[in-house]
């Protein structure tokens, strides 16, 4: 990342004026089994980030929160279809557009297609319920609607970065800002009507692992259900010589009951651009180890790619798992944004993997993600995006950037206060890479900076070496997001963890009690106990 942030929303001060009768204890949510009372749109809209827009788009008749919410999601689905049709229309005129404009449009097309799917799935769930949803169903819809906003923002970022005159004339026609407001209203009304209150479950801190996995899976796949195994080997001794061909052979739209399609990748350097498309769910890749099985590419923004499609390896499908693989982008610091992995796969997990690049190494784009025992190397904003992502027992290595640059480990992109997203760094080690260490402290390295207005990042019980600047965190530009972001540190160690001279922004917090960070653990933030056991990846649900 590195461009001027796009601020979509400003919190309304009216959010503070609660209506005690209509919204007592649970805002507008009804008791289980009972419908909420009808309420005017003027009242319901005060609980959205953009009340004036909300009032303009909701119908005039009085409804309850569920009817308003379904109306907003239906309208959002309709607008996503319109945007998709419009993008397709523009792509048909591509002879007048630059390469960068065409790539930006293709990004928008993919993202609009995903939004149609997410909104249709959300509406199907919401049509069946006039009550708060069970936590797992609520989290699914919350994730989808959050991803819809993220996808829209990604499309908008690509549009803003394109400067050709022929493309500028189309920007207003896409009505991206209006769609963003609409999706924000849908998300806000969903959280008011269908999301249950947080349940305070007693959970002990786990000292051991839920699954002792490494040896069992590599020997006989242990408790992980595998439907089929294929091998990729460059010497022709396997089923395929390229990873791309193996992915193409994987079944589409499979169910978890059938198990994973496992691609075993023998040692070698694979110069490929691999895309795990949305239909290739329940796909698992196992390599022969970090720096043994390597997937590498060199696309970058300087060479004409958008940040979104500069990635060497892309995950869109849900239930993806990768083990023992190195992912690289070798474009180098001089090529600016150059992504090694872009991950938008829901319920995805990476174990014992390495992500290597400089600026924008790991794009945690959207949905729920888990990283365990991984290495991440980079310089500027090298863990960025708007997923709900937890990094546990990972090694994070800031590298030496270009002259005049500083390092920012994270650039989290939460653009709406109702999104369930953030970057959680738990029991990790942050240590300067060899080239940065030899720089003898002349490069400033920060824990993060706010890419979007509600950026959220928490470091919990992690080790920070002396490369971390005493301020801890960096501004994006001016005072942007300093009062709306949520940055926190909890019981970190090491010479870079001293918080006595940290920034004093309103959104920065030094946390001292376990209950303050419990909601950011694997069990709470990702509901990890419900889905990670099936992947076979080890994890600790509570604080380590």
Residues labelled catalytic: 381
Query: What are the backbone dihedrals phi and psi of residue 214, each rounded to the nearest 5 degrees, phi first?
Result: -55, -55
What count of Cα atoms within 13 Å lies in the side-chain half-sphere of residue 145? 35
Token pair of 488 as six digits: 């926190």
Cβ count near 222 (within 10 Å): 15
DSSP 393: S
Phi, then psi, of 316 in degrees rounded to 5 = -120, -35
Q: Are 329 and 349 in contact (CB under 8 A)?
A: no
Alpha helix (H) ranges present in 372-448?
A: 434-437
Q: Nearest 5°: CA angle at 403, between 398 and 406?
A: 40
| Burial tier of 145 (Cβ tally within 10 Å: 0-12, 13-18, 19+) | buried
Number of Cβ within a 10 Å radius of residue 410: 30
Q: Which two tokens mark 117?
A: 């799917």
For residue 464, which of 435, 428, 490 has the smallest C-alpha distance?
A: 428
Write the DSSP string, 306-337: -STT--SEEE-SSSEEEES-EEEE-S-GGG--
Burial of 140 (0-12, 13-18, 19+ CB in 10 A): buried
> Encoding tokens for residue 317?
């499908």
Task: State the Cα–Cα distance between residues 159 and 108, nearest whole angstrom.
Answer: 9
Q: Which of 54, 346, 306 is nearest to 180 (CA)?
A: 54
The conformation of residue 174, written as its DSSP 8-state character, comes to G
Q: Where are the alpha helices (DSSP H) in 231-327?
A: 243-249
Nearest alpha carbon to residue 299 among 99, 466, 153: 99
Q: Is residue 450 a contact partner of residue 1, using CB atoms and an 8 Å limit? A: no
Q: CA nearest 476: which of 505, 450, 456, 455?
A: 450
* Secondary structure class of 390 (helix, strand, coil): strand
Q: Which of 383, 433, 380, 382 is nearest to 404 (CA)?
A: 380
**Consecutive H or E run containing 339:** none
Quote the CA–CA distance of 411 and 5 in Å, as a whole number.
11
Closest listed residue to residue 116, CA positions, set 310, 314, 278: 278
Q: Is 54 left (phi over 0), alpha (psi -120 to 50) or beta?
A: alpha
The 10 Å Cβ neighbour count of residue 329 is 29
């Amino acid at each position: 990342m590195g461009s001027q942030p796009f601020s979509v929303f400003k919190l309304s001060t009216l959010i503070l004026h609660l209506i005690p009768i209509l919204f007592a204890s649970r805002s507008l949510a009804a008791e289980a089994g009972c419908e909420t009372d009808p309420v005017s749109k003027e009242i319901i809209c005060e609980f959205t980030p953009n009340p004036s827009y909300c009032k303009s788009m909701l119908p005039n008749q009085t409804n309850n929160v569920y009817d308003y919410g379904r109306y907003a999601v239906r309208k959002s689905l309709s607008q996503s279809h319109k945007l998709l049709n419009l993008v397709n229309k523009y792509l048909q005129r591509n002879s007048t557009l630059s390469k960068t404009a065409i790539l930006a449009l293709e990004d928008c097309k993919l993202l609009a297609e995903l939004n149609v799917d997410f909104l249709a799935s959300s509406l199907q769930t919401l049509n069946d319920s006039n009550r708060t949803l069970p936590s797992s169903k609520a989290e699914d819809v919350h994730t989808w609607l959050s991803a819809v906003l993220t996808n829209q923002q990604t499309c908008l970022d690509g549009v803003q970065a394109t400067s050709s005159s022929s493309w500028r004339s189309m920007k207003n026609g896409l009505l991206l800002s209006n769609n963003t407001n609409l999706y924000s209203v849908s998300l806000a009304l969903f959280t008011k009507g269908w999301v249950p209150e947080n349940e305070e479950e007693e959970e002990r801190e786990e000292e051991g692992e839920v699954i002792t996995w490494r040896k069992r899976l590599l020997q006989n796949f242990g408790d992980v259900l595998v439907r089929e195994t294929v091998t990729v080997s460059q010497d022709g001794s396997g089923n395929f010589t390229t990873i791309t061909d193996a992915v193409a052979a994987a079944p589409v739209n499979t169910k978890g009951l059938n198990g994973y399609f496992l691609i075993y990748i023998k040692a070698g350097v694979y110069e490929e651009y691999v895309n795990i498309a949305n239909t290739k769910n329940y796909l698992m890749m196992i390599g022969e180890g970090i720096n043994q099985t390597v997937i590498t590419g060199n696309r970058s923004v300087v060479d004409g790619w958008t940040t979104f499609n500069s990635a060497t390896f892309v995950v869109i499908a849900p239930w993806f798992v990768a083990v023992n693989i190195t992912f690289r982008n070798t474009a180098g610091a001089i090529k600016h944004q150059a992504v090694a992995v872009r991950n938008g796969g829901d319920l995805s997990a990476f174990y014992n993997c390495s992500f290597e690049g400089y600026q924008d190494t790991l794009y945690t784009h959207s949905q729920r993600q888990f990283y365990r025992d991984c290495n991440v190397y980079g310089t500027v904003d090298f863990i960025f995006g708007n997923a709900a992502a937890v990094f546990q027992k990972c090694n994070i290595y800031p590298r030496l950037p270009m002259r005049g640059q500083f390092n920012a480990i994270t650039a989290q992109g939460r653009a709406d206060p109702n999104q369930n997203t953030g970057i959680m760094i738990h029991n990790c080690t942050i240590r300067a890479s060899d080239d940065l260490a030899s720089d003898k402290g002349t490069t400033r390295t920060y824990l993060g900076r706010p890419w979007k207005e509600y950026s959220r990042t928490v470091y919990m019980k992690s080790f920070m070496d002396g490369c971390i600047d005493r301020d801890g965190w960096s501004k994006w530009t001016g005072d942007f997001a300093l009062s709306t972001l949520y940055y926190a540190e909890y019981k970190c160690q090491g010479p870079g963890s001293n918080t006595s001279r940290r920034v004093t922004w309103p959104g920065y917090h030094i946390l001292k009690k376990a209950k303050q960070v419990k909601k950011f653990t694997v069990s709470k933030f990702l509901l990890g106990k419900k889905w990670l056991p099936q992947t076979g990846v080890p994890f600790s649900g509570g604080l380590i």
